[in-house]
Structure 1
Amino acid sequence: MSNIFDELQWRGLVAQTTDEAALREALEGKLTVYCGFDPTAPSLHFGNLVQLMQLRRLQQAGHRVICLVGGSTGLIGDPKPDSERVLRTKDQVADAVASIRAQAESFLDFDGDNPATMVNNLDWTEGISALDFLRDYGKYFRVNAMIKKDAVSARLNSDTGISYTEFSYQILQGLDYLHLYRAHGCTLQVGGSDQWGNLIAGVDLVRLADSAHVHALTSPLLTDSTGRKYGKSEGNAIWLNPEMTSPYAFYQYFVNVEDSEVVKLLKVFSDLGSEEIAEYERQVADEPFKRVAQRALASAATTLVHGADATEAVQAASEALFGKGDITALDARTLRDATTELPGGEVAVGTGIVEALIAVGIADSRNAARRLIGDGGISINNDKITDVEASLTENDFLHGQVAVIKRGRKHQAAARLPQNSA
């Protein structure tokens, strides 16, 4: 595609722009672009990944990118439409800033001929006095325009109202754009479509304060099959921190994406071109049961976030649990992550197989357990069990953690060694 704007449109990453024709023309040259991420949690989530991919693609197209972590805006919080945020302490925000900086740095190139830049807006706002804030910046904002912002309007019409603290958020974010315009020549800000009002606040501030015209570009909010956006406040967050969402759970999430969503997500989270995407779209239509597109998406997204080694490990775990792979070859972390969501129960070393089947819910009685074993339908760690008198040994508990018991191929449970026995 001749213009990066065309590619972003094809990938479904364009929702709103201040002036599409002017932005297209500007993207023919070399722009400086930024996106901000507030540290309102100790990790970025799947929704933030959309904007990281936006920056990544713009950088690969030759544009200079700035990743902003909101050390100051994170202390205030972008107003929610339903309630006031609980203010986080300075130490909490500082810890989250450090964590998010480290995450963001893995998606962009900070070396080479066109390195990305990482900035923290606390660096240029912390020293501004209240009087300077009001005189130098507040004078450019009109209250009648500020109250039209969706979240602000919703709060004004609610019983809870809105504090001046959160009401001032859009001034702080607008100040970011003005600073980056002056310090770095930044003329494009990108964000999610729910940030349009805040982006426009920055565009207007640059115009009013410096008589300059700059751009804003938003991407649609990605939603799941129920129409809920992917985000930490929605209760369905997919975190980028492996301690909050394990690589295995991350991979499995995308393997289970519905057919109606998978092509859209492939365009966003893979570097596949139009012909390859078209082939996956055909496979979704003609052979959906094979889930080829979902596996390609899961592989691309997991590699992007957690690396190729993690992807190989979780693929091996999937094959071990749902196919014929060697479950004993899994490392302790991957085994733990892969079995966390399995039903089951605590089972001690020396417990008979019959009792173990009852304990983990595979069988509801001793007779049923004996019958399943006699029929050859039970395996432990993918090894078939034929002796109804057998007992679980220490070696059955892989890494001193868990033995995976299967009934056929679809029903499985985890026999977990009691912690005081591990």
Structure 2
Amino acid sequence: MQNVIDVLEERGFIEQTTHEQELAQYAGSGQVSCYIGFDPTASSLHVGHLVPIMALAHMQRHGHRPIALVGGGTGLVGDPSGKTEMRKMLTVEQVNANVLDIKRQLARFLDFSQDKALLLNNADWLTQLYLIPFLRDFGRHFSVNRMIKAESCRARLESEEGLSFIEFNYMVLQAYDFYKLCEQHQCRLQMGGSDQWGNIVAGIDLIRRTLGEQAFGITFKLITTSSGAKMGKTAAGAVWLDPERTSTYDYYQFWVNTDDRDVARFLALFTFLPLSEIEKVGALEGAELNGAKSVLAFEATRLAHGEEEAIKAYRSACDMFGLRSVADSILPSSRIPRKVDLIEGDNVPCSEMLSDEFEEGIAAFKLFHETGLAKSGGEARRLIEQGGGYVNGRRLKSFDQLIFTKDFSEMGLLLRAGKKRFHKILIKEKK
């Protein structure tokens, strides 16, 4: 079996590692344990967490034991990494509730049966510490000079708010987590985002000084889109893994709307499809590339929400936008349905409008009238006011809501009146 470190490298996960050759030997020496920490400051993880989650899943698929460490203890302190101001302090009850929700989401990606993966909470040991013994036995191994040079601390020290004493302890506590996992579970590999490099190295050093063991670290690349935007951020905010916060359909649509330039890269990162198939995506164009986007959306949704929900989301997209079936030759290992029965088939009425017409926005009721979904402007207003007007599956809040070109997806703009009457508008550029 291929070394998992090579797999993560080939698929675009890794930014930097410690002890490169020794790490490769360690990962190839048999089953090893590795861990990643997850911050419980929200009730749900989001798309920005998928790189570390997928990395743990790859480790498990290669015979290793992943440990997902939920920061029930460090969550009470706060990580200054990447933050310009101190986080809002959460109560113990809030943190514990968030921990339970995060555990359920991680279980979609990892098999926790028979200890094939572990879900641990650092509150189990951090909240039991006594300050003076901890400072004497562990605090003495940390250099303040080195700590303030870490990027996570330096940025905050230079900020207007500064760095609080409680957050300054975060590096020490995370290093202690690594120590405890090494001592109790023989875990000698920690992985995390690029902003965690200083914390990971501190843990490696602590393990060497206290246990005499060689530990390792991997950091992941910060994933941005080809347009330069941070991965997982949309105009509406974060894309959550919890379907109560981001519906399964909206989650699917997030992936369908991937920039053409990002499709192959995101397939490598966020699905388990073979690289040999993904490499061929770069040569696809037009309808075939849209088919690859459908596969990306289906596979990503299947992992986060299950196959049944992914099929529902795919069929809903087909119903709304009249998508064609995905050819058997496109990413053939995918479990996406290759033949879909569309309600209304491909017979959704369709018209074209110039992009110029939407520059200043067109009131929704006018579109419903012009496309024949309402016999008059008055009827269109009443339809929308009574909750029967939809654009791209979302109910309109007001009859005069303006529709702009940015509201169009690559498949157009779908208007719906009531439950069964549709009209699709396509954009055409002025010649």
Partner of 2:111 in structure 1?
109
- Structure 1 residue 326 and structure 2 residue 326: aligned? no
Q: Check whether the contact 1:32–1:66 (CA below 8 A) recurs between aligned residues.
A: yes
Cα deviation, residue 132, structure 1: 2.2
After TM superposition, list the pairs within 5 Å mapping 1:6-405 onto structure 2.
6-29=6-29, 30-79=31-80, 80-111=82-113, 115-230=116-231, 236-283=237-284, 286-287=285-286, 290-323=289-322, 325-326=342-343, 360-362=365-367, 369=369, 372=370, 377-379=371-373, 402-404=388-390
Partner of 2:403 in structure 1?
none
Cα deviation, residue 15, structure 1: 1.0
> Aligned partners of 1:158 and 1:388: how far apart in 2?
58
Q: Check whether the contact 2:69–2:121 (CA below 8 A) recurs between aligned residues.
A: yes
> Aligned partners of 2:234 and 2:189: how far apart in 1?
27
**83 and 389 in structure 1: CA distance in 2 versus 1, 3 angstrom threshold:** closer
Cα deviation, residue 156, structure 1: 1.2
Deviation sequence 1:361-383 (CA, Å, 0-9, x none): 415xxxxx3xx4xxxx435xxxx
SS at match of 2:69: strand
> Aligned partners of 1:213 and 1:316: how far apart in 2?
51
SS at match of 1:190: strand
Structure 2 unpaired stretches of 5+: 324-341, 346-361, 393-410, 420-431
Q: Check whether the contact 2:74–2:173 (CA below 8 A) recurs between aligned residues.
A: yes
Bigger Cα displacement from structure 2, 318-327 vs 258-267: 318-327
Deviation sequence 1:65-124 (CA, Å, 0-9, x none): 111110001111110441111111111111111111111122111125x61111100001
**358 and 262 in structure 1: CA distance in 2 versus 1, 3 angstrom threshold:** closer
Deviation sequence 1:152-182 (CA, Å, 0-9, x none): 1011122211111011101111110000000
**414 and 91 in structure 1: CA distance in 2 versus 1, 3 angstrom threshold:** farther
Q: Check whether the contact 1:81–1:152 (CA below 8 A) recurs between aligned residues.
A: no
Letter in 2 for 1:83: E
Q: Check whether the contact 2:152–2:195 (CA below 8 A) recurs between aligned residues.
A: no
**288 and 199 in structure 1: CA distance in 2 versus 1, 3 angstrom threshold:** farther
Q: Check whether the contact 2:46–2:238 (CA below 8 A) recurs between aligned residues.
A: yes
Cα deviation, residue 125, structure 1: 1.0
> Aligned partners of 1:320 and 1:403: how far apart in 2?
17
SS at match of 1:66: strand
Cα deviation, residue 230, structure 1: 2.9
**188 and 359 in structure 1: CA distance in 2 versus 1, 3 angstrom threshold:** closer
> Aligned partners of 2:366 and 2:99: how far apart in 1?
44
> Aligned partners of 1:173 and 1:358: how far apart in 2?
53
Structure 1 unpaired stretches of 5+: 329-356, 364-368, 380-384, 418-422
SS at match of 1:360: helix
Partner of 2:2 in structure 1?
2
Q: Check whether the contact 1:73–1:169 (CA below 8 A) recurs between aligned residues.
A: yes
Cα deviation, residue 151, structure 1: 2.1
Deviation sequence 1:397-416 (CA, Å, 0-9, x none): 9xx9645589xx94444568
Q: Check whether the contact 2:365–2:377 (CA below 8 A) recurs between aligned residues.
A: no
**168 and 235 in structure 1: CA distance in 2 versus 1, 3 angstrom threshold:** farther
> Aligned partners of 1:404 and 1:235: how far apart in 2?
18
SS at match of 2:44: coil
Partner of 1:341 in structure 2?
none
SS at match of 1:36: strand
TM-score, normalised relative to structure 1: 0.79
TM-score, normalised relative to structure 2: 0.77
**161 and 416 in structure 1: CA distance in 2 versus 1, 3 angstrom threshold:** farther
Cα deviation, residue 359, structure 1: 6.6
Letter in 1 for 2:300: A
Q: Check whether the contact 1:189–1:216 (CA below 8 A) recurs between aligned residues.
A: yes
